[in-house]
Homo-oligomer: A and B are copies of this chain.
Amino acid sequence: MRDVAALAGVSLKTVSRVVNGEPGVSPDVRDRVRAAVGRLDYRPNLAASNLRRTGARTGLVGALVQDLSNSFSAGLLRALEDAARRRSTAVLAASLDEEAEREEALVHDLVTRRVDGLVLMPASERQDYLVAELRTGTPAVFVDRPPRGVDADSVRVDNVEGSRAATEHLLDLGHRRVAALLDIETIPTAEERRAGFTAAFTARGLRPDPRLVVPNLRSTDEATEVMHALLALDDPPTAVFTGRNILSAGAVRALAERGLRREVALVGFDDFPLADLLDPPLTVIRQDVQRIGATVADLLFERIDGDTSPPRHVVIEPTLVARGSGEIPPPPRTR
């Protein structure tokens, strides 16, 4: 900047004015400065300018999600990005892979970078450490999972209702031997989905077979394996509820490998691309990622703009999308 000022024959302050489009600079001088900027490839240093600027913002928000390559995380990020762009804000994104230590380290890093706000799909069970971080004034919005040990805004779907609806859908068709493939138990979302599954049975005075309820599945491959084992039972399930998109894929694969896709009913939590092109098309509980992301962004930017009202917890209702796989009736001879 000093070089630019020298080349244009003006003071630093004048260059600053031109660069920031401030008024009070004669056209003549402005053009000289612009020319110098071009000649020297000068780029203002945003960090340095923010240093002195009062009430400065970095125009940066951090988003810590489960896995950037998963369609749910990716869709969320995309919705956040769209909202951020309207505010000339950039998004720093990272995957946590359900590792709590990584979460804590990344949050600390982002706060140190002075991001204007934080979107968090937490991997940790509790976020007490966040209290100190947020005291620095960085607002945070939780998504998909509720905050624990810290008070902050959150946006998520009603997992209990969603999985209850999925399960009732299967029970209504007459299924009784319904399996459930679920995510890691420490994730609140997984627990809620399990609760909804059980609640559907209870409401009818029934009880799920505990052997058919398998939690702690971390990958598509694990789900495939478990599904195979369940189907090999003497008294195999006639229907399955899968608690997450990657687990649905695993279940479909096992069914396909056994030629049972049209025999065993399947309802999955969370929609994903092409689910409607499977054969039979997959019946799912859909979370409106677009809407969730937009709501997260709304909350976050309101906080960034200074809103200090008590934390809000938005719950979005998921919807059952019946496409075929969930409408397969139980075989006649089964009870």
Tell me the A residues contacting B by CB distance below 8 Å: 38, 41, 43-48, 50-51, 58, 60, 67-69, 71, 74-75, 77-78, 81, 85, 90-95, 108-114, 132-133, 135-136, 249, 252-253, 256, 261, 272-279
Contact = CB atoms under 8 A, between A and B. Distances in A.
B71 A77 contact: no
Contacts of A68: 74, 77-78, 81
Contact of A90 (B38, B50, B109, B136): B109
Contact of A273 (B71, B95, B112, B256): B71
A48 B50 CA distance: 9
A57 to B, nearest CB: 12
Nearest to A281: B256
B114 A45 contact: yes
30 contacts: A38-B132, A43-B111, A43-B136, A45-B112, A45-B114, A46-B114, A47-B47, A47-B58, A47-B113, A47-B114, A68-B78, A69-B71, A69-B74, A69-B75, A71-B273, A78-B95, A81-B95, A85-B94, A90-B92, A90-B110, A93-B93, A249-B274, A253-B276, A253-B277, A272-B273, A272-B274, A273-B273, A274-B274, A274-B278, A279-B279
A260 B203 CA distance: 43
Contacts of A92: 60, 90-93
A94 B95 contact: no
A135 B276 CA distance: 49
Nearest to A220: B273
A51 B46 CA distance: 11
Nearest to A275: B274
Contacts of A78: 67-69, 95
A91 B77 CA distance: 13
